[in-house]
Structure 1
Amino acid sequence: SKIEFRYTATQTITVYSKKIKDARATMNKLATLGKKGIAFTGNSYENSTEYLFTRLNDVKPVMVEEATTKAREVAEKFAKDSNSKLGKIKKAGQGQFSINNRDKNNPHIKKIRVVSTVEYYLSD
Protein backbone atom coordinates (compact mmCIF):
# COMPACT_ATOMS: atom_id res chain seq x y z
CA SER A 1 0.00 0.00 0.00
CA LYS A 2 1.06 3.55 -0.67
CA ILE A 3 1.86 5.78 2.29
CA GLU A 4 -0.47 8.76 2.22
CA PHE A 5 0.89 10.77 5.11
CA ARG A 6 4.22 11.23 6.83
CA TYR A 7 4.55 12.19 10.46
CA THR A 8 7.52 13.12 12.56
CA ALA A 9 7.67 12.36 16.26
CA THR A 10 10.46 13.04 18.68
CA GLN A 11 11.18 10.82 21.65
CA THR A 12 14.17 10.62 23.96
CA ILE A 13 14.79 7.41 25.86
CA THR A 14 17.32 7.26 28.67
CA VAL A 15 18.59 3.85 29.72
CA TYR A 16 21.07 3.24 32.52
CA SER A 17 22.37 -0.30 32.47
CA LYS A 18 25.46 -2.28 33.32
CA LYS A 19 24.51 -4.74 30.56
CA ILE A 20 26.24 -2.97 27.68
CA LYS A 21 25.97 -5.91 25.26
CA ASP A 22 22.21 -6.17 25.80
CA ALA A 23 21.69 -2.43 25.40
CA ARG A 24 23.72 -2.36 22.17
CA ALA A 25 21.81 -5.39 20.82
CA THR A 26 18.52 -3.62 21.52
CA MET A 27 19.74 -0.50 19.73
CA ASN A 28 20.62 -2.62 16.70
CA LYS A 29 17.16 -4.21 16.73
CA LEU A 30 15.58 -0.76 16.38
CA ALA A 31 16.83 -0.75 12.80
CA THR A 32 14.37 -3.54 11.95
CA LEU A 33 11.53 -1.07 12.52
CA GLY A 34 12.66 0.66 9.34
CA LYS A 35 11.19 -2.24 7.38
CA LYS A 36 7.83 -1.34 8.91
CA GLY A 37 8.10 2.30 7.88
CA ILE A 38 9.37 3.66 11.18
CA ALA A 39 12.69 5.42 10.78
CA PHE A 40 15.08 6.44 13.55
CA THR A 41 17.78 9.05 13.37
CA GLY A 42 20.62 9.30 15.82
CA ASN A 43 22.57 12.27 14.57
CA SER A 44 21.35 14.71 17.19
CA TYR A 45 24.17 15.79 19.51
CA GLU A 46 21.95 16.26 22.55
CA ASN A 47 20.45 12.79 22.11
CA SER A 48 23.57 10.82 21.30
CA THR A 49 24.41 7.53 22.99
CA GLU A 50 26.78 7.97 25.90
CA TYR A 51 28.73 5.29 27.74
CA LEU A 52 29.97 6.07 31.25
CA PHE A 53 32.83 4.33 33.05
CA THR A 54 31.85 3.93 36.70
CA ARG A 55 34.57 1.66 38.10
CA LEU A 56 37.52 4.03 38.31
CA ASN A 57 38.04 3.33 42.02
CA ASP A 58 38.31 -0.38 41.19
CA VAL A 59 41.20 0.10 38.76
CA LYS A 60 43.02 3.04 40.39
CA PRO A 61 45.29 1.04 42.75
CA VAL A 62 46.47 -1.34 40.02
CA MET A 63 47.04 1.49 37.56
CA VAL A 64 49.05 3.58 40.04
CA GLU A 65 51.13 0.51 40.96
CA GLU A 66 51.81 -0.22 37.30
CA ALA A 67 52.71 3.41 36.57
CA THR A 68 55.11 3.47 39.53
CA THR A 69 56.72 0.18 38.45
CA LYS A 70 57.19 1.46 34.90
CA ALA A 71 58.60 4.75 36.18
CA ARG A 72 61.21 2.82 38.17
CA GLU A 73 62.10 0.69 35.11
CA VAL A 74 62.64 3.81 33.02
CA ALA A 75 64.65 5.46 35.80
CA GLU A 76 66.86 2.35 36.14
CA LYS A 77 67.54 2.41 32.40
CA PHE A 78 68.34 6.12 32.57
CA ALA A 79 70.69 5.56 35.52
CA LYS A 80 72.44 2.68 33.76
CA ASP A 81 72.88 4.69 30.55
CA SER A 82 74.41 7.56 32.52
CA ASN A 83 76.69 5.30 34.59
CA SER A 84 74.81 6.25 37.74
CA LYS A 85 73.09 4.30 40.46
CA LEU A 86 69.38 4.74 41.14
CA GLY A 87 68.60 5.88 44.66
CA LYS A 88 65.43 6.43 46.66
CA ILE A 89 62.40 8.37 45.51
CA LYS A 90 62.95 12.09 45.92
CA LYS A 91 59.45 13.20 44.96
CA ALA A 92 56.36 11.47 43.56
CA GLY A 93 53.05 12.75 42.30
CA GLN A 94 50.01 11.01 40.97
CA GLY A 95 48.67 12.67 37.89
CA GLN A 96 45.11 13.04 36.84
CA PHE A 97 43.23 10.07 35.44
CA SER A 98 41.72 10.45 32.00
CA ILE A 99 38.94 8.30 30.57
CA ASN A 100 38.33 8.43 26.83
CA ASN A 101 36.59 6.40 24.18
CA ARG A 102 38.94 3.93 22.52
CA ASP A 103 37.93 5.43 19.18
CA LYS A 104 34.88 7.05 17.58
CA ASN A 105 33.50 3.72 16.37
CA ASN A 106 33.72 2.03 19.79
CA PRO A 107 32.56 4.54 22.41
CA HIS A 108 31.54 1.66 24.70
CA ILE A 109 35.20 0.60 25.02
CA LYS A 110 37.15 2.98 27.23
CA LYS A 111 40.82 3.87 27.42
CA ILE A 112 41.93 4.87 30.93
CA ARG A 113 45.24 6.62 31.47
CA VAL A 114 47.17 7.96 34.43
CA VAL A 115 50.47 9.78 34.39
CA SER A 116 52.59 9.54 37.51
CA THR A 117 55.67 11.69 38.00
CA VAL A 118 58.45 10.14 40.06
CA GLU A 119 61.82 11.77 40.76
CA TYR A 120 64.70 9.64 42.04
CA TYR A 121 68.05 10.41 43.55
CA LEU A 122 71.02 9.37 41.40
CA SER A 123 74.54 8.65 42.63
CA ASP A 124 77.79 7.92 40.82
Structure 2
Amino acid sequence: MRLSSPPFLVPAVLVALGVAIAGFLIGRGVENANVGDRSVTVRGLSERIVKADLAVLPLRFASAGDDLATVQAKVDQDLAAVRRFLAQQGYTPAEIDLGRLQVTDQYAREYQSSNVGARYQVAQTVIVRTTNVDRVQATTRSLDALLRQGVVLQDYNGPSYLFTKLNDVRAEMIGQATASARTGAQQFARDSGANLGGIRSATQGSFEILGRDDIGDESSQVFKKVRVVTTINYRLR
Protein backbone atom coordinates (compact mmCIF):
# COMPACT_ATOMS: atom_id res chain seq x y z
CA MET A 1 0.00 0.00 0.00
CA ARG A 2 1.42 3.43 -1.01
CA LEU A 3 1.59 5.98 1.76
CA SER A 4 0.86 9.58 0.86
CA SER A 5 2.44 12.52 2.61
CA PRO A 6 0.21 14.69 4.69
CA PRO A 7 -0.97 17.66 2.65
CA PHE A 8 0.79 20.16 4.93
CA LEU A 9 4.22 18.44 4.88
CA VAL A 10 5.48 19.45 1.42
CA PRO A 11 4.81 23.16 1.85
CA ALA A 12 6.43 23.05 5.27
CA VAL A 13 9.55 21.39 3.87
CA LEU A 14 9.75 23.93 1.07
CA VAL A 15 9.37 26.80 3.48
CA ALA A 16 12.05 25.39 5.78
CA LEU A 17 14.40 24.86 2.82
CA GLY A 18 13.76 28.36 1.59
CA VAL A 19 14.47 29.82 4.99
CA ALA A 20 17.72 27.85 5.20
CA ILE A 21 18.87 28.99 1.76
CA ALA A 22 17.88 32.59 2.49
CA GLY A 23 19.70 32.44 5.78
CA PHE A 24 22.81 31.13 4.06
CA LEU A 25 22.72 33.87 1.44
CA ILE A 26 22.01 36.59 3.97
CA GLY A 27 24.86 35.33 6.09
CA ARG A 28 27.24 35.47 3.15
CA GLY A 29 26.07 38.99 2.36
CA VAL A 30 26.77 40.23 5.87
CA GLU A 31 30.20 38.68 5.75
CA ASN A 32 31.07 40.34 2.48
CA ALA A 33 29.66 43.66 3.66
CA ASN A 34 31.76 43.50 6.81
CA VAL A 35 34.87 42.76 4.81
CA GLY A 36 34.03 45.51 2.39
CA ASP A 37 33.59 48.01 5.19
CA ARG A 38 36.77 47.04 7.02
CA SER A 39 39.48 49.63 6.76
CA VAL A 40 42.50 50.99 8.56
CA THR A 41 43.62 54.58 8.91
CA VAL A 42 47.34 55.17 9.26
CA ARG A 43 49.69 58.11 9.29
CA GLY A 44 52.92 58.36 7.38
CA LEU A 45 55.76 60.65 8.42
CA SER A 46 58.61 62.15 6.44
CA GLU A 47 61.31 64.35 7.97
CA ARG A 48 64.55 65.75 6.68
CA ILE A 49 67.20 68.21 7.79
CA VAL A 50 67.79 71.14 5.46
CA LYS A 51 69.99 74.21 5.56
CA ALA A 52 68.58 77.72 5.36
CA ASP A 53 69.11 79.35 1.99
CA LEU A 54 68.31 82.95 2.94
CA ALA A 55 69.50 85.13 5.80
CA VAL A 56 68.15 88.51 6.93
CA LEU A 57 70.29 90.57 9.30
CA PRO A 58 68.86 93.87 10.61
CA LEU A 59 71.30 96.33 12.20
CA ARG A 60 69.62 99.20 14.04
CA PHE A 61 71.53 102.07 15.61
CA ALA A 62 70.37 105.34 17.15
CA SER A 63 71.51 108.63 18.62
CA ALA A 64 69.84 111.07 21.01
CA GLY A 65 70.37 114.68 22.03
CA ASP A 66 68.84 118.13 22.20
CA ASP A 67 70.23 119.37 18.91
CA LEU A 68 68.67 117.62 15.93
CA ALA A 69 71.52 118.44 13.53
CA THR A 70 74.08 116.96 15.90
CA VAL A 71 72.01 113.85 16.47
CA GLN A 72 71.50 113.35 12.74
CA ALA A 73 75.22 113.81 12.11
CA LYS A 74 76.01 111.02 14.57
CA VAL A 75 73.55 108.70 12.83
CA ASP A 76 75.08 109.54 9.44
CA GLN A 77 78.53 108.78 10.87
CA ASP A 78 77.32 105.42 12.19
CA LEU A 79 75.67 104.64 8.87
CA ALA A 80 78.91 105.22 7.02
CA ALA A 81 80.73 102.96 9.49
CA VAL A 82 78.15 100.20 9.06
CA ARG A 83 78.39 100.41 5.26
CA ARG A 84 82.19 100.15 5.39
CA PHE A 85 81.96 97.21 7.77
CA LEU A 86 79.53 95.33 5.54
CA ALA A 87 81.64 96.02 2.44
CA GLN A 88 84.67 94.61 4.25
CA GLN A 89 82.58 91.54 5.08
CA GLY A 90 82.08 90.98 1.35
CA TYR A 91 78.45 92.07 0.83
CA THR A 92 77.42 93.67 -2.42
CA PRO A 93 75.29 96.85 -2.53
CA ALA A 94 72.36 94.74 -3.79
CA GLU A 95 72.44 92.77 -0.55
CA ILE A 96 72.15 95.87 1.65
CA ASP A 97 68.91 97.77 2.12
CA LEU A 98 68.41 101.01 4.00
CA GLY A 99 65.46 100.77 6.35
CA ARG A 100 63.13 103.48 7.58
CA LEU A 101 64.61 106.48 9.33
CA GLN A 102 62.83 107.15 12.63
CA VAL A 103 62.90 110.60 14.22
CA THR A 104 61.25 111.18 17.60
CA ASP A 105 60.71 114.57 19.22
CA GLN A 106 59.93 113.93 22.87
CA TYR A 107 58.53 117.45 23.31
CA ALA A 108 55.97 116.87 20.58
CA ARG A 109 54.32 113.99 22.43
CA GLU A 110 51.06 114.52 24.26
CA TYR A 111 50.96 114.07 28.02
CA GLN A 112 54.77 113.98 28.17
CA SER A 113 56.38 114.68 31.53
CA SER A 114 58.83 117.52 31.85
CA ASN A 115 61.69 115.16 32.69
CA VAL A 116 62.19 113.47 29.32
CA GLY A 117 65.95 113.61 28.96
CA ALA A 118 67.21 114.20 25.43
CA ARG A 119 64.64 115.86 23.18
CA TYR A 120 65.46 114.14 19.89
CA GLN A 121 66.11 110.52 19.04
CA VAL A 122 67.04 109.41 15.54
CA ALA A 123 67.22 105.72 14.64
CA GLN A 124 68.31 104.07 11.41
CA THR A 125 68.16 100.42 10.33
CA VAL A 126 70.33 98.71 7.75
CA ILE A 127 69.06 95.34 6.51
CA VAL A 128 71.31 92.69 5.02
CA ARG A 129 69.42 90.17 2.88
CA THR A 130 71.53 87.48 1.25
CA THR A 131 71.64 83.85 0.21
CA ASN A 132 75.15 83.60 1.59
CA VAL A 133 74.15 82.17 4.95
CA ASP A 134 77.70 81.28 5.97
CA ARG A 135 78.81 84.87 5.49
CA VAL A 136 76.06 86.14 7.78
CA GLN A 137 77.15 83.67 10.45
CA ALA A 138 80.68 85.02 10.19
CA THR A 139 79.43 88.60 10.32
CA THR A 140 77.56 88.06 13.57
CA ARG A 141 80.82 86.94 15.16
CA SER A 142 82.53 90.15 14.02
CA LEU A 143 80.03 92.77 15.16
CA ASP A 144 82.35 93.88 17.95
CA ALA A 145 84.26 95.75 15.22
CA LEU A 146 81.30 98.14 15.00
CA LEU A 147 81.32 98.65 18.75
CA ARG A 148 84.97 99.65 18.62
CA GLN A 149 83.99 102.34 16.10
CA GLY A 150 81.36 103.74 18.46
CA VAL A 151 78.34 102.13 16.78
CA VAL A 152 75.98 100.74 19.41
CA LEU A 153 73.34 98.40 18.01
CA GLN A 154 69.81 98.79 19.38
CA ASP A 155 67.33 95.93 19.91
CA TYR A 156 69.70 93.46 18.30
CA ASN A 157 68.17 89.98 18.10
CA GLY A 158 70.50 88.42 15.56
CA PRO A 159 69.75 87.29 12.00
CA SER A 160 66.77 85.31 10.77
CA TYR A 161 67.56 82.22 8.71
CA LEU A 162 64.89 81.08 6.25
CA PHE A 163 64.35 77.99 4.12
CA THR A 164 62.59 79.02 0.91
CA LYS A 165 63.03 75.93 -1.27
CA LEU A 166 60.16 73.84 0.06
CA ASN A 167 58.92 73.12 -3.46
CA ASP A 168 62.23 71.40 -4.21
CA VAL A 169 61.59 68.72 -1.57
CA ARG A 170 57.79 68.65 -1.46
CA ALA A 171 57.10 65.84 -3.98
CA GLU A 172 59.79 63.49 -2.67
CA MET A 173 58.75 63.98 0.96
CA ILE A 174 55.08 63.32 0.18
CA GLY A 175 56.15 60.10 -1.55
CA GLN A 176 58.18 59.07 1.48
CA ALA A 177 55.30 59.82 3.85
CA THR A 178 52.90 57.83 1.67
CA ALA A 179 55.29 54.87 1.59
CA SER A 180 55.64 55.08 5.37
CA ALA A 181 51.86 54.98 5.75
CA ARG A 182 51.54 51.96 3.46
CA THR A 183 54.19 50.07 5.43
CA GLY A 184 52.22 50.64 8.62
CA ALA A 185 48.96 49.59 6.96
CA GLN A 186 50.52 46.38 5.59
CA GLN A 187 51.77 45.45 9.05
CA PHE A 188 48.31 46.03 10.51
CA ALA A 189 46.71 43.93 7.77
CA ARG A 190 49.09 41.03 8.44
CA ASP A 191 48.47 41.20 12.16
CA SER A 192 44.71 41.13 11.64
CA GLY A 193 44.78 38.33 9.05
CA ALA A 194 43.51 40.55 6.23
CA ASN A 195 44.80 41.69 2.87
CA LEU A 196 45.50 45.33 2.19
CA GLY A 197 43.28 46.90 -0.43
CA GLY A 198 43.32 50.23 -2.17
CA ILE A 199 43.18 53.73 -0.75
CA ARG A 200 39.75 54.97 0.29
CA SER A 201 40.82 58.49 1.18
CA ALA A 202 43.99 60.41 1.83
CA THR A 203 44.87 63.70 3.46
CA GLN A 204 48.18 65.47 3.17
CA GLY A 205 48.98 67.47 6.24
CA SER A 206 50.66 70.84 5.99
CA PHE A 207 54.43 71.07 5.91
CA GLU A 208 56.15 72.25 9.08
CA ILE A 209 59.54 73.92 9.22
CA LEU A 210 61.05 73.56 12.68
CA GLY A 211 64.41 74.23 14.18
CA ARG A 212 66.69 71.23 14.03
CA ASP A 213 67.37 71.58 17.74
CA ASP A 214 64.67 72.09 20.33
CA ILE A 215 66.25 75.27 21.62
CA GLY A 216 65.44 78.88 20.92
CA ASP A 217 63.48 80.17 17.98
CA GLU A 218 63.33 78.32 14.66
CA SER A 219 64.32 81.44 12.69
CA SER A 220 67.59 81.75 14.62
CA GLN A 221 68.77 78.28 13.52
CA VAL A 222 70.61 77.71 10.26
CA PHE A 223 69.60 74.06 10.07
CA LYS A 224 65.90 73.24 9.94
CA LYS A 225 63.76 70.15 10.24
CA VAL A 226 61.10 69.87 7.53
CA ARG A 227 58.20 67.57 8.43
CA VAL A 228 55.04 66.39 6.70
CA VAL A 229 52.43 63.89 7.90
CA THR A 230 49.97 62.16 5.57
CA THR A 231 46.80 60.41 6.77
CA ILE A 232 45.58 57.55 4.54
CA ASN A 233 42.59 55.23 4.89
CA TYR A 234 43.07 51.79 3.26
CA ARG A 235 40.52 49.10 2.55
CA LEU A 236 41.03 45.70 4.10
CA ARG A 237 39.95 42.56 2.22
TM-score by structure 1 length?
Answer: 0.76
Q: Partners in 1 of 2:212 and 2:124 — Cα distance?
A: 29
8 Å CA contact retained: 2:212, 2:221: yes
Inter-CA distance 51–93: structure 2 relative to 1 (3 Å threshold): same
Q: Corresponding residue for 2:224? A: 110
Picking from 77, 91, 94, the partner of 2:204 is: 94
The size of the alignment, in residue pairs, is 113
Following TM superposition, by how much is the alpha carbon of 1:14 offset from its aligned partner in structure 2, in angstroms?
A: 1.6
Give secondary structure in 2 for the equivalent of 1:111: strand
Q: Does residue 61 of the first structure (1) align with residue 171 of the second (2)?
A: yes
Give secondary structure in 1 for the equivalent of 2:174: helix
Aligned-partner residue type, residue 63 of structure 1? M
Moved more, 95-104 or 111-120: 95-104
Q: How does 1:1-124 map to 2 (within 5 A)?
A: 9=63, 11-33=124-146, 36=148, 38=150, 44=155, 47-103=157-213, 104=216, 107-123=221-237
Q: Partners in 2 of 1:121 and 1:74 — Cα distance?
A: 13
The gaps in structure 2 that reach 5 residues or longer are 1-61, 64-122
Aligned-partner residue type, residue 15 of structure 1? V
Inter-CA distance 37–16: structure 2 relative to 1 (3 Å threshold): closer
Q: Partners in 2 of 1:41 and 1:116 — Cα distance?
A: 45
Runs of 4 or more above 4 Å deviation: 8-11, 37-42
- Percent identity (aligned): 40
Q: Partners in 1 of 2:152 and 2:194 — Cα distance?
A: 64
Structure ranking higher in strand proportion = 2
Following TM superposition, by how much is the alpha carbon of 1:19 offset from its aligned partner in structure 2, in angstroms?
A: 1.1
The structure whose Rg is larger is: 2
Following TM superposition, by how much is the alpha carbon of 1:27 offset from its aligned partner in structure 2, in angstroms?
A: 1.2
The gaps in structure 1 that reach 5 residues or longer are 1-7
TM-score by structure 2 length?
Answer: 0.42
Following TM superposition, by how much is the alpha carbon of 1:81 offset from its aligned partner in structure 2, in angstroms?
A: 1.2
Following TM superposition, by how much is the alpha carbon of 1:93 offset from its aligned partner in structure 2, in angstroms?
A: 1.3
Give secondary structure in 2 for the equivalent of 1:84: coil
Q: Tell me how large the CA RMSD over aligned residues is.
A: 2.4
Inter-CA distance 108–40: structure 2 relative to 1 (3 Å threshold): farther
Following TM superposition, by how much is the alpha carbon of 1:40 offset from its aligned partner in structure 2, in angstroms?
A: 5.5
8 Å CA contact retained: 2:140, 2:158: no
Give secondary structure in 2 for the equivalent of 1:29: coil
Q: Partners in 2 of 1:88 and 1:20 — Cα distance?
A: 45
Following TM superposition, by how much is the alpha carbon of 1:53 offset from its aligned partner in structure 2, in angstroms?
A: 1.1
